[in-house]
Structure 1
Amino acid sequence: MTATDPVANLQTLIRCPSVTPDEGGALSALEAMLAPLGFAVERMVAREEGTPDVENLYARLGTEGPHLMFAGHTDVVPPGDAAAWKHPPFAATLDGGDLYGRGAVDMKGGIACFVAAVARSIARHGAPRGSLSFLITGDEEGPSINGTEKLLKWAEERGERWNACLVGEPTNPDQLGDMIKVGRRGSLSGRITVQGVQGHVAYPHLADNPLRGLLQLTHALMDPPFDHGTDLFPPSNLEVTSIDTGNTAVNVIPARASAAFNIRFSNVWNEETLKAEIRRRLDIAAASGPLRPGRPPVDYTIVWPERVGQVFLTRDEALISSLSEAIAAVTGQEPSLSTTGGTSDARFIKDYCPVVEFGLVGQTMHKVDERVAISDLEKLTEIYQTFIESWFRHAEA
């Protein structure tokens, strides 16, 4: 097998059932592609009590700067009911111009194309005047505890430094060339618990229904809007994702109720100011409201169960222009610069170097019959190769 063929690369990777947190042979397959190209490949296992061990990969070609990193993940989400797929999810079947398989789009396809792009560039021009590296985790689709964050710290402690990074996530909504992600909204989760007094629904004066208070609080979190967005960020948006009482009886007022929420926030906020605004809203709503006339303020607590994903924006002109020009040269499109969508491991990488994201079309990611057009694999490889060569020219100038 030659690493210059993105289709063959991707078939090899898909056939490795690397469902988070299992390596599934995917990192070994990637190492087999990179080592013959001259990359020094290292495998690092990250551990933390209470979480599964995760194997990660770091590979570098060259010893001098400038240094360009490609980052991504070989782990995939579970395929679900395999019988519901047109083709087995780990068979990497070619059908009608598409390649089917879990991870085809998110994001083994991006890795396969970047490997092919590097192989073609080396065959054409030799190794770049600088360094190229792959930083690949097996924990992006999982809790992201033993993946990119720890791999970056491990590499930095070994003396690694980077000038720029491209993450190969599927960024395009409709067709290849639509969108570069130049930042991401922040992500903050919380859980509110309201204490009430349990009782019989026929005697509400002897009880205090915590759901009434909880509804007041959640309404205050969703209205009015937190902001109206900025030039490069859509408005912040909060969603209540669950309400729970643990109550199995329809004639019993529960003793407590809780609600979980998540807000994806724009660069209007940071962790400190956003938490303060949420508490301000909750305190006002707890003190008054039409659902609890004559009652004392709602007795609530709030916890923040997950780490905050910080908002960020990349402004590195050489990185963005090199990628934009490569996309335009191959597709004829001028990509939009966007911060939409969820979070990614770019939120960790931005603390080490400027980072942007560009990959395949994301319409089938995480779905049954995840697939990628074979023609898009070739185009993305051409984009990546053009970008690599352009970025090093910019870096040398």
Structure 2
Amino acid sequence: MSDTLELLQRLIRLESVTPADAGCQDVLAECLTPLGFVDERLPFADTENQWLRRGTRSPLFVFLGHTDVVPPGPAEAWGSAPFKPNIRDGKLFGRGTADMKGSIAAFVTAVERFLTRHPSHKGSIAVLMTSDEEGIATHGVVKVVEVLEARREKIDWCLVGEPSSSKTVGDVIRVGRRGSLCAKLTVFGIQGHVAYPELAANPIHAFAPALQELTAEVWDNGNAFFPPTRLQVSNINAGTGAENIIPGQLEALFNLRFSTELNEAAIKARTHAIFDKYGFDYQIDWRLSGNPFLTGSGELLQATHAAIRAVCGIEPIDDTGGGTSDGRFVAPTGAQVIELGPCNASIHKVDEHIGLEELETLSRIYEQILINLLA
């Protein structure tokens, strides 16, 4: 059994459902502190954060990951217990195998091999872990970055181990992500009997034309790096459940995944302009999950392309698709940030898995990136 596979199995057995870490960071400290990494814990609220750093010189290369996983759902729906790693058909099954404990295990073994061959490497290497990525991400990497910025500890290159690959490991590199802006809308009406609508004010009727305009709005046309901004309504709720009552209020949730053609202020202004046109009484609570970011051509991206060509013999595609990641908290510091991890077809699903060969390939790619940048 390979060291990477053995470590991944240890991590899968730890039931670190967000925001729990369940001892994963202790395992990483056990692996990396003998190699000269200083283990610093930075807990905030219910979130466990870990900053493992070797060296004090620049440039600083950081592997960024999260030890928390999403709930597995009904265990009986799985082909094997979600927190008991099981190998079958050349794959390792278990919650977190692809998202993203597989990448974490590959980080560690890549670093171990690199340091064996290059103990006096240039710059510094760090591993940043949080247990608050799959949740609302308010006490995780965003807080650690604040600490690092306050003490002027600057990250130059950051590789996030999110599952970026599509068909085969290394075929896609995430070089940025769209922004994410969430909204909770409340439309206020007057509850009443459906037989006496003149004595009530139906918030559903008031909101309907605004909803149509909101969802038909062309926010932008995207650009060379990002698709057009999209708005999706995720929930609408109104009424008491009785068929003879006009509801007193309506609640709706919607989200915009936006490109670098827009910003938070512009989206809010255009949304309010649409709603104000129709004259209903409303309140919006906004939550910015993250701004868009983009890492153009630079040393990190060049080193990663070269590593994938050397290990896999393919030329990866640079892409900005998918959801948000913790990279959105690091990019504003000026760091070059990319995401590279295993295939994402099974993430958050029953029978999540990673290919055994895929896992070893990923570790070799990570090692080659370190060689390209720091050897």
Tell me the TM-score normalised to structure 2 length.
0.96
Residues in 1 aligned to 2:158 and 2:244: alpha-carbon distance in whole angstroms: 58
Query: CA contact under 8 A between 2:220 and 2:262: conserved in structure 1?
Result: no
Residues in 2 aligned to 1:117 and 1:301: alpha-carbon distance in whole angstroms: 50
**Deviations 1:38-76, CA, capped at 9 Å, x for gaps:** 2111222112xxxxx211111111121221011110011
Residues in 2 aligned to 1:66 and 1:208: alpha-carbon distance in whole angstroms: 62
Matched, 1:334 2:315: yes
- 1:346 is matched with which residue? 327
Query: CA contact under 8 A between 1:214 and 1:259: conserved in structure 2?
Result: no
**Deviations 1:109-157, CA, capped at 9 Å, x for gaps:** 1111111111111122324221000011111111211111111222333
Which amino acid in the other structure matches residue 169 of structure 2?
A: L
Query: CA contact under 8 A between 2:184 and 2:284: conserved in structure 1?
Result: yes
Alignment of 1:3-18 (within 5 A): 5-18=3-16
1:173 is displaced (CA, Å) by 2.2
Which amino acid in the other structure matches residue 192 of structure 1?
A: L
Which amino acid in the other structure matches residue 376 of structure 1?
A: E
Residues in 2 aligned to 1:83 and 1:171: alpha-carbon distance in whole angstroms: 28
Alignment of 1:127-276 (within 5 A): 127-276=120-269
- 1:291 is matched with which residue? none
Which amino acid in the other structure matches residue 307 of structure 1?
A: L
1:373 is displaced (CA, Å) by 0.2
Residues in 2 aligned to 1:32 and 1:314: alpha-carbon distance in whole angstroms: 33
Instruction: From 34, 39, 42, give the equivalent of 1:44.
Output: 42
Query: CA contact under 8 A between 2:239 and 2:248: conserved in structure 1?
Result: no
- 1:29 is matched with which residue? 27
Matched, 1:84 2:85: no
Query: CA contact under 8 A between 1:271 and 1:308: conserved in structure 2?
Result: no
Query: CA contact under 8 A between 2:187 and 2:283: conserved in structure 1?
Result: yes
Residues in 1 aligned to 2:186 and 2:254: alpha-carbon distance in whole angstroms: 12
- 1:121 is matched with which residue? 114
Residues in 1 aligned to 2:48 and 2:192: alpha-carbon distance in whole angstroms: 52
1:309 is displaced (CA, Å) by 1.2
Instruction: From 307, 311, 323, give the equivalent of 2:288.
Output: 307
In structure 1, list runs of 5 or more residues that go unmatched: 48-52, 287-296
Residues in 2 aligned to 1:371 and 1:270: alpha-carbon distance in whole angstroms: 37
1:158 is displaced (CA, Å) by 4.1
Which amino acid in the other structure matches residue 351 of structure 1?
A: P
Residues in 1 aligned to 2:289 and 2:114: alpha-carbon distance in whole angstroms: 39
Q: In 2 relative to 1, CA 324–272 (structure 1 residues): closer, same or farther, beyond 3 Å?
A: same
Residues in 1 aligned to 2:107 and 2:209: alpha-carbon distance in whole angstroms: 50
Instruction: From 37, 56, 60, give the equivalent of 1:67.
Output: 60
Query: CA contact under 8 A between 1:218 and 1:240: conserved in structure 2?
Result: no
- 2:346 is matched with which residue? 364
- 2:367 is matched with which residue? 385
**SS of aligned partner of 1:41:** strand
Residues in 1 aligned to 2:350 and 2:21: alpha-carbon distance in whole angstroms: 21
Tell me the TM-score normalised to structure 1 length.
0.91
1:363 is displaced (CA, Å) by 0.7
What percent of counterpart residues are identical?
Answer: 44
**SS of aligned partner of 1:107:** helix
Alignment of 1:270-309 (within 5 A): 270-284=263-277, 286=278, 297-304=279-286, 306-309=287-290
1:391 is displaced (CA, Å) by 1.7
**SS of aligned partner of 1:263:** strand
1:238 is displaced (CA, Å) by 0.4
**SS of aligned partner of 1:379:** helix
Residues in 1 aligned to 2:58 and 2:297: alpha-carbon distance in whole angstroms: 17
1:159 is displaced (CA, Å) by 4.5
1:308 is displaced (CA, Å) by 4.2
**SS of aligned partner of 1:351:** helix
**SS of aligned partner of 1:6:** helix
Q: In 2 relative to 1, CA 308–17 (structure 1 residues): closer, same or farther, beyond 3 Å?
A: closer
Which amino acid in the other structure matches residue 303 of structure 1?
A: D
Residues in 2 aligned to 1:207 and 1:358: alpha-carbon distance in whole angstroms: 55
Query: CA contact under 8 A between 1:66 and 1:162: conserved in structure 2?
Result: yes
**SS of aligned partner of 1:347:** helix
Q: Which moved more, 1:274-283 or 1:228-237?
A: 274-283
1:380 is displaced (CA, Å) by 0.5
Q: In 2 relative to 1, CA 42–161 (structure 1 residues): closer, same or farther, beyond 3 Å?
A: same
